[in-house]
Amino acid sequence: MFDDSLPAPDPADDAPAGPVASVIRARRLDRYVGSFAVEWPAVKAVDTPAQKDGWVPLPHDELHALVLDALRAQDIGVTEQIHTLYRRGDRYIGLGVTDLVSPAGGRDVFVGWFNSHDRSAAATLLLGEQVTVCFNLCLYAEVKVARKHTRHIRRDLPLLIEDAVGRFTQAMTDQAKRCDAYRETPLERSSGNDVLIQLLERGVFPPSRIRKVLDEWTQPTIPEHAAAWNVDRLYQAVTFQQTPLWDMGRRHRALHRVLDEVAGV
């Protein structure tokens, strides 16, 4: 949820900007945080406040280590990273590109993490094809776990992160089966038009976008999507359109409910 009471960060108050990883920049995942990127030594140099009244702040680099350790335990590597500090180092955002490839069109899989020393939000892990973090603490991903900075955070957070990574790898396996079913299920143009109306009625996309979705269905922008008339082609047409961050999860669930029924998943 956005916290409108907090002013936007001032670059002069934060660490100097550092380089932005190319894949992250290409996918525009850094659009909210890239101008405040820092080198890793700046993250390690941040002082962690003392515990007080049951509040147990976690060092930024400790959260980073927990995330990478959980990924390595599942044989998942991180090929690129970007680190961001703001509010004079009290808040830390990290984004990374994993070496996983999503079965849904061969898309990159990203990891994100957030930590705070000002009691603004819990320590958070995010995993998925769509990972978004912004200064107003709007954190979105297909898989998300968070733990408040309270007494047993060091006991609970590693288990939560490990469980989240395990759930995500299982979800990847399930998604691979779903994508195979989408590709193997023929869908004629006229039948696809009928399915689009169902998706519209379910609120998967607003009426104002029906023309764009229909054009992408009949004449895909990406040549590979035009190889066959099937459920996957329709899925790619719908997901090609940008979805508002706040409504992304609901719309994707509705999309899969309809297409899973069509493909017999």
Backbone angles phi, psi at 123, to 5 degrees: -65, 130
Domain assignments of the chain as residue spans, ordered by start: 11-172, 185-263
**Reported confidence tier of residue 106, pLDDT bands at 50, 70, 90:** low
Residues 6+ apart with CB under 8 A from 117: 46, 48, 49, 57, 60, 89, 90, 91
**Closest Cα partner for 187 from 233, 230, 217, 218?**
230
The region that residue 39 occupies, defined by phi over 0 for left and psi between -120 and 50 for alpha, beta otherwise, is beta
pLDDT value at residue 244: 56
pLDDT value at residue 119: 93
pLDDT value at residue 247: 59
pLDDT tens, position by position, 168-225? 888 888 888 888 899 999 999 999 999 999 999 999 988 999 999 999 999 999 898 8
pLDDT value at residue 77: 92
Can you tell me the mean pLDDT for 94-119?
Answer: 85
**Reported confidence tier of residue 167, pLDDT bands at 50, 70, 90:** confident
In the predicted structure, residue 11 carries a pLDDT above the cut 50: no
Q: Can you say how many angstroms the Cα of residue 171 is from the centroid of all Cα atoms in its chain?
A: 14
**Reported confidence tier of residue 104, pLDDT bands at 50, 70, 90:** low
pLDDT value at residue 194: 95
pLDDT tens, position by position, 141-150? 888 999 999 9
pLDDT value at residue 243: 60
Percent of the chain with pLDDT over 70: 85
Task: Give the global pTM.
Answer: 0.67
Residues 6+ apart with CB under 8 A from 167: 143
In the predicted structure, residue 245 carries a pLDDT above the cut 60: no
pLDDT tens, position by position, 12-69? 444 434 444 477 777 776 776 767 889 999 999 999 999 999 999 999 999 999 999 9
DSSP codes joined into one string, 41-70? HHHHTPPPPPPBTTB-PPPHHHHHHHHHHH
In the predicted structure, residue 257 carries a pLDDT above the cut 70: yes
pLDDT value at residue 155: 94
Distance CA(203)–CA(217), nearest Å, equals: 18
To the nearest 10°, report the CA torsion of 64, 70, 76, 78: 0
pLDDT tens, position by position, 63-98? 999 999 999 998 899 999 999 999 999 999 999 999
Distance CA(82)–CA(156), nearest Å, equals: 26
Mean of per-residue pLDDT scores for the chain: 84
